[in-house]
Amino acid sequence: MSSDRPSYDPVSVSPLSFWERTATERDASFKILRDERPVSWHPPLEGSLMEAEQDGFWAVTRHEDVVAISKNPEVFCSGQGVMIEEVPEDLLEAAQSFLAMDAPRHGALRRLVSVAFTPRQIAKIDEQIKAQARHIVDDLLDTTDGDFVSQVSKRLPMWTIYELIGLPESLREEAAHHADGMVSWADADVAAGREPGEVLNDSLVGLISIAFEMVEDRKTHPRDDILTNLVQAEVDGQRLTDEEIASFFVLLSVAGNDTTRNSTTLGMKYLCDFPEQRKLLADDPEGLIQPAAEEIVRYATPVMTFRRTATRDVELHGQQIREGDWVVTLFSSANRDEREFDHPEEFDITRTPNRHVAFGGGGPHFCMGSMLARTQLRSLFSELVTRAPALELGEPSYLVGNFVHAVKSIPYQLSAR
């Protein structure tokens, strides 16, 4: 470690053991950092995919700073990666699409992709999402117990994303399985004896192979779906390459499946743990479903961290950040910041305003799928709280990792009708 670096912080977020703790235990550590050392220096992450060239990274814990960094891509860029991992450049490009790009390429690619997400496409699927939510709860009510993740949480986001993209039903389970592997390679249960790099590579190759086959099909057999729109999209004379479309399919599969699934699981768990909030929502679903969805994603914070890289020397809270340093915005901490939220430790579905950073802190990388995610959560929880009042959840089995706040499985019971 260079002599002009600060000491590594005693409240370290680098060990895997830190991310094995409960969210409540991690929150206690984040509070210390927010109050005493809002920008702190930490050793390279334990259990990384490959050895990092960095001698550490900066952890940013306050809401105000997370928002400021997110809105300043000129100083804090995304093009060198967004995870607390050293990732080979070819893997970065193939797996993270415009998530790990800077201007001007980021803006150009995002504009091309946004052409595919027209208001007509979203409006067309809105009623279908509501119908799917009803169907999922119909199926749930035909059971008495099981795993809530597989029975409920994973079904709507998987259906929505792959319906939009036009993925055949026969390939959806396989694609979702590969999408899981993209964010869970560090979990021993998921790896099942394989090396982390092998899990990641298998998952990436699987998704890209599916995407290339579909792109070739849409070139000769266009359909009324987003993949066809992507193949045909043109902005200022530019079109997407096959590789760019495949990379976006990977990003959409991972982001579209994982975040809404975990918000659903954790949101239902919170409603079970805070029955007075569940009753409030059940008594006035139409009036409270929108703020409830916002509070669920704030409280769950399904994407916990996002990394930037400093493009020049800069000072933040008295810390000298060098050009090339990794700066990690901790969304989980920002969404519990007492400077922004009154009683942030409380789950309050009436909370307003609710300027959470669960979809990012703003700026050019704000989540493009946030509107879709909100639609899914509103549709599903409207059904769950009104039609499944006897639903109770047990204790979750969490995925070990520093990127997504993910639940692998959680038992449910429907004992009374």
What the block records as the tokens of 259 is: 């975040």
Identify the pLDDT of residue 19.
Answer: 93
Strand partners, 239: 234
Q: Give the integer Cα–Cα distance in Å for 59 and 64.
A: 14
Identify the pLDDT of residue 96.
Answer: 60
Q: Give the integer Cα–Cα distance in Å for 411 and 75.
A: 45
Which amino acid is present at 88?
Answer: P
Cα torsion 67, 71, 74, 75 to 10°: value is: -10
Return the H-helix or E-strand segment holding 119.
helix 119-141
SS3 state at 305: strand
What the block records as the tokens of 188 is: 């021993």
Residue 343 Rama label (left phi>0; alpha psi -120 to 50; beta): left
Identify the pLDDT of residue 90.
Answer: 66
Q: What angle do CA 361, 309, 200 make, to 5 degrees?
A: 90
SS (H, E, C) 131-166: HHHHHHHHHHHCCCEEEHHHHHHCHHHHHHHHHHHC
Residue ranges in the chain whose pLDDT is less than 70: 1-3, 47-52, 87-101, 115-119, 121, 185-186, 191, 235, 416-417
Identify the pLDDT of residue 1.
Answer: 42
Q: Give the integer Cα–Cα distance in Å for 112 and 106.
A: 10
Instruction: Classify strands 391-393 and 326-330 as parallel, antiparallel or unpaired.
Output: unpaired
Which amino acid is present at 54?
Answer: Q
pTM surpassing 0.85?
yes
Identify the pLDDT of residue 252.
Answer: 85
Q: How far is CA 333 from CA 59, 223, 367, in A?
A: 10, 43, 19
SS3 state at 304: coil
Identify the pLDDT of residue 44.
Answer: 92
Q: Where are the beta strands (DSSP E) in 319-400?
A: 319-321, 326-330, 391-393, 397-398
Q: How far is CA 277 from CA 137, 255, 265, 337, 389, in A?
A: 20, 28, 16, 21, 13
List, for residues 348-357, the tens digit of each pLDDT value: 999 999 999 9
Identify the pLDDT of residue 124.
Answer: 75
